[in-house]
Chain A
């Protein structure tokens, strides 16, 4: 898979192959079953082509020590997506996906007043036809024993603060600790890949959070069982 990156300080594009061998080296599950990782990258490239496979630790992206940007896997090393500086995987390193999900903005909702602050913080809006969407930054992190364990999907801490939803844990907002979305009931996760987790669970979770931020009572925002 080929990724193209625009340096935001200029106009040049950078293209690189996702280095599966390097990526595998930080995830024992990928070392044991390289085909799994290849399948994950292919599926994400198909459904979420704008998401980055990055180096993570403690369910957060590892930041480049030079410029603070994410570290990706390219050309035989983990290296900064912006400045190309190589980075050594830290202890407990993991593979994460980072990217944006679009979510529908309801017209004339209580969230409108927060949109300027969201845009300033890096959560832009866009329009398709008559529908307005907000792009929300999320992270999906593979646990050490994936796919036996559920991947964690977390919201950017800024996002939850800006929409006025506490970071959790709370059964009201279906948020676990540190902005982690509660996507599956205990025992319900069955090893589905990152793309399916995002499509089938994270999108709905985000939509429900947006309803809450827009003034809908939490008990009505989440469809289905309220724990």
Chain B
């Protein structure tokens, strides 16, 4: 069984040790289970829970942890679910709300619950984060696009329909004034509008993703617009495709079962007939804090553990789950997998360069797919959509787009100072990677739906050709503009072939062979100078005994240095034998 340090090894670099000393009150355990799960995964282990009736089957508590947690009071069930997931050995402390003080109050549920919470928070003098059961809120009251409104009243109180935003705000409030504070989120808490429970008339928001242009602006880094109204996450606006019988006949593949893949598998598992989950790794101590595996599963193969966990969480609604304990690496393996299991959609979340080979295999097999990954610390995520062969493939876009300024390196990147490579064991918390997984799940479900059932924003996105999405849980600006043009946490931008960067007029895709015009030219004004210098030096010295004719005329070389030059080449070879 993992220790506190090993269990939260990925979270501690981001939130520090102080969070486990904080106590959070929760009013509305069934409705607020998602926020509680997100905070617990960051190390909040001391809870004051309001007593509640057993949760309904469609409550966030049951959706998150499974139908087994509807048989007892919601507070008892939530405590049991958190203990079961993260392990009994952690220093949990669950007490009834009202018996002790707490640093923050979270209220989730009906307006009457939130009204009551305002009274309690005012009496206690602690901040309040409220999550209404009805997610409809007027985006005009949000904080500059971030889905948080000030909740009127005598105490510091915020209201949001999004559990990820609620968890981010709650954690920012708990960490305020510490080295782990989130100034970008705190800045959004000085909001324009106010939302008053009871007296207000919340209007129905768009409920959709408003897709903004990803047209890059070299140097300025200014986004042309934003994309995401997070009130659409994770489920309210998705009723139509979820209920479509056509989805019940689908088979989905998920390759890579980490902090993205394992959570996406849960969302896909709610709607498909068959789910094939693939990963050759085993569950490690730090995985349960961000992934779907329970602490008791440490040491088990991920694919097997996930299949078991999906059956437990989805109960009788669980699809046929096939767990394959293998690491797919090449096109031939993909072809064999698709031939054996079928596939209407594949989700690639390996976090490795193997994504390219797997995408090539899926493209050859005609399987719609998307490839998603988080950037270091899950500050940002990226998803490439490839619903068919007409749109750019993964190789056309991934790594070849100019998306605006890049963020500063994470402390781990700076300290590690290693070659860029696969993202393994990177610090992050569920607040960020879980939000990324929720977004990618929404995209995956849209791709899984027949085109006629896809929502307008997805149809617009595909029609625009902007099939690379980058979302940010952070706002980072080193003075050159916000990284990726994302000026607020929770934004997503879409990019297409017009953002392809290169040093020539065209770029040939190494995977599909298509040629794309380069939209953002990477040029160096010094190149001409260096080129002249190289040729000058070549004329004078001529390097290692190898002389080249470029077509512009043969140049004779001085021979005095040839012996030493070729000696240099030979010595390099000698050193590597």
Contacts and interface: CB of A to CB of B under 8 A. Distances in A.
B243 interface: no
Given A49-B535, A49-B538, A190-B502, A124 B564 contact: yes
B414 to A, nearest CB: 5
Contacts, number: 242
A136 to B, nearest CB: 9
Interface string B531-548: 101111110111111111
A158 B540 CA distance: 24
Interface in A48-106: 48-52, 58, 60-64, 67-70, 81-82, 98-102
A149 interface: yes
A121 B575 CA distance: 13
B311 interface: no
A151 to B, nearest CB: 11
Interface string B410-421: 000110011110
Interface stretch (B58-66, B158-166, B231-239, B509-517): B509-517
Contact of B406 (A47, A69, A122, A188): A188
Nearest to A144: B353
A191 B356 CA distance: 14
Nearest to B382: A187
Nearest to A147: B510
Contacts of A35: 508, 513
A145 interface: yes
B547 to A, nearest CB: 5
B542 to A, nearest CB: 7
A186 B544 contact: no
B513 A148 contact: no
B124 interface: no
Interface in B168-224: none
Interface string A127-170: 11000010101010000111111101000111000000000111
Contacts of B538: 49-50
B548 A50 contact: yes
B310 interface: no
A8 B510 contact: no
A146 B510 contact: yes
Interface stretch (B135-143, B262-270, B290-298, B395-403): B395-403
A114 interface: no
B99 interface: no
A144 B572 CA distance: 22
Contacts of B541: 124, 126, 135
B537 A145 contact: no
A148 to B, nearest CB: 5
Contacts of A109: none
Contacts of B548: 1-4, 45, 49-50
B567 interface: yes
A47 to B, nearest CB: 5
A170 B417 CA distance: 7
Contacts of B563: 8
B559 interface: yes
Given A137-B572, A158-B571, A190-B402, A148 B356 contact: yes
A187 B353 contact: no
B577 interface: yes
Contacts of B564: 119-120, 122, 124
A123 B543 contact: no
Interface string A157-196: 1100000000011110000110010101111111111001
A63 to B, nearest CB: 3
Contact of B418 (A176, A203, A225): A176
Given A58-B576, A156-B571, 20 more contacts: A1-B550, A6-B545, A6-B557, A36-B510, A50-B538, A50-B546, A61-B573, A67-B570, A100-B565, A121-B567, A122-B544, A124-B564, A126-B537, A135-B537, A145-B357, A150-B420, A156-B568, A186-B420, A188-B406, A200-B526
Interface of A: 1-8, 13, 15, 29, 32-33, 35-36, 39, 45-52, 58, 60-64, 67-70, 81-82, 98-102, 119-124, 126-128, 133, 135, 137, 139, 144-150, 152, 156-158, 168-171, 176-177, 180, 182, 184-193, 196, 199-200, 203, 225, 227
Interface of B: 353, 356-357, 360, 375-376, 395, 398-402, 406, 408-409, 413-414, 417-420, 501-504, 507-511, 513, 522, 524, 526-527, 530-531, 533-538, 540-550, 554, 557, 559, 561-577
3 shortest interchain CB distances as A-B pairs: A122-B568, A63-B573, A49-B548
